[in-house]
């Protein structure tokens, strides 16, 4: 998801997907604890963790540990290998147990939440900003449909009147832009950089991959809890060492895939690097830099550097897209429209 990193994303169902289960369990345990005796029953609450930890210790020291551990490892390894797949375009191998149908269900649910949350703030179809974002989408679509099995997707554009610098695309082709990000984009090349990045998340099915990590994070939190680490601390540790690195890898991959897409669409690949350079300067001016290890996104400076590193590949893609003829057609079309507008003004 493209966003100004210090801000919170409105797409909570996607960003919190890996935390749903741990948070629910944490609330459930606390609720039962207070309901059946309150804080003075604390020793019994702590005893549960001590007892669970002792059982794990006894199992490790028991005669069946190596047999059980071998069977569990073989089963887990088999499930992992069976569900490995290749990410379109980048070719990265990753674990995914989420079906397209379930991903579509999550997307529909999220779509309803967003439409409800921002009701009354969507710009009308005739607004120039909506038309501009839609124009960029239509120019990218021929190259999007060739990747990730998105041939039958019904694409929609929604522009939200909000100063938030954010944009995202929900699986199923629902594109959301906030008006606050448009000045930072400056041109249609900048809009293409943001949009291609967001579409790349859909092409790579990053939502499904994120949900597939959730069971591992939940198991890690529970194991830490059994050895007397709180849910809050356990979740923080799992985020730090598993969720955040995975999320940063997805963001970097979306930058790469999106850069190739916008190049194929005959947009300037440098616009993506220039966008992140502006974001980096803005972050520095506001004094809001956060250590990369504590965030779900790479630093703006790192993203700019990686994109500049990939520019030769992007230009290679651009050369194979016959952009000379396409851009000539676009320029002629713009001149024709400008000429027609002048004639209309003269006649009026």
Rounded Cα distance, 32 and 169, in Å? 39
Active site residue 198: yes
| Residue of 198, 243, 251, 264 marked active site | 198
**Which residues have CB under 8 Å from 218's CB, separation 6+?**
21, 22, 25
In 3D space, the residue among 317, 60, 79, 288 whose CA is nearest the CA of residue 196 turns out to be 317
At residue 230, φ and ψ (nearest 5 deg) are: -65, 160
Q: Which residue has the tokens 């569900």?
A: 83
The answer to whether 83 and 95 are in contact (CB under 8 A) is: yes
Catalytic residues: 198
């Amino acid at each position: 998801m493209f966003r100004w990193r210090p801000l919170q994303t409105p797409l909570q169902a996607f960003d919190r997907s890996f935390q749903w289960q741990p948070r629910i369990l944490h609330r459930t345990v606390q609720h039962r604890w207070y309901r059946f005796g309150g804080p003075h029953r604390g020793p019994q609450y702590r005893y549960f963790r001590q007892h669970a930890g002792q059982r794990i210790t006894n199992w490790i020291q028991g005669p069946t540990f190596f047999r059980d551990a071998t069977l569990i490892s073989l089963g887990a390894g088999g499930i992992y290998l069976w569900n490995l797949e290749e990410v379109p375009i980048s070719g990265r191998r990753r674990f995914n147990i989420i079906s397209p149908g379930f991903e579509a269900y999550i997307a529909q649910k999220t779509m309803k939440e967003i439409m409800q949350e921002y009701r009354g703030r969507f710009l009308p179809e005739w607004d120039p900003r909506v038309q501009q974002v839609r124009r960029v989408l239509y120019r990218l679509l021929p190259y999007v449909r060739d990747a990730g099995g998105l041939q039958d997707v019904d694409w929609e554009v929604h522009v939200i009147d909000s100063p938030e610098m954010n944009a995202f695309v929900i699986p199923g082709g629902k594109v959301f832009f906030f008006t606050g990000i448009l000045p930072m984009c400056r041109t249609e090349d900048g809009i293409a950089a943001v949009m291609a990045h967001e579409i790349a998340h859909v092409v790579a099915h990053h939502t499904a991959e994120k949900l597939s990590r959730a069971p591992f994070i939940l198991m890690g939190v529970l194991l830490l809890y059994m050895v007397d680490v709180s849910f809050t601390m356990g979740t923080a540790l799992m985020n730090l060492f598993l969720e955040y690195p995975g999320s940063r890898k997805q963001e970097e991959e979306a930058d790469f895939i999106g850069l190739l897409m916008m190049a194929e669409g005959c947009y300037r690949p440098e616009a993506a690097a220039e966008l992140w350079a502006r974001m980096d300067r803005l972050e520095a001016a506001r004094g809001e830099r956060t250590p990369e290890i504590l965030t779900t996104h790479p630093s703006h400076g790192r993203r700019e550097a990686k994109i500049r590193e990939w520019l030769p590949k992007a230009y290679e893609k651009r050369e194979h897209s016959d952009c000379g003829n396409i851009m000539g057609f676009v320029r002629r079309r713009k001149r024709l429209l400008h000429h027609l507008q002048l004639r209309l003004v003269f006649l009026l």
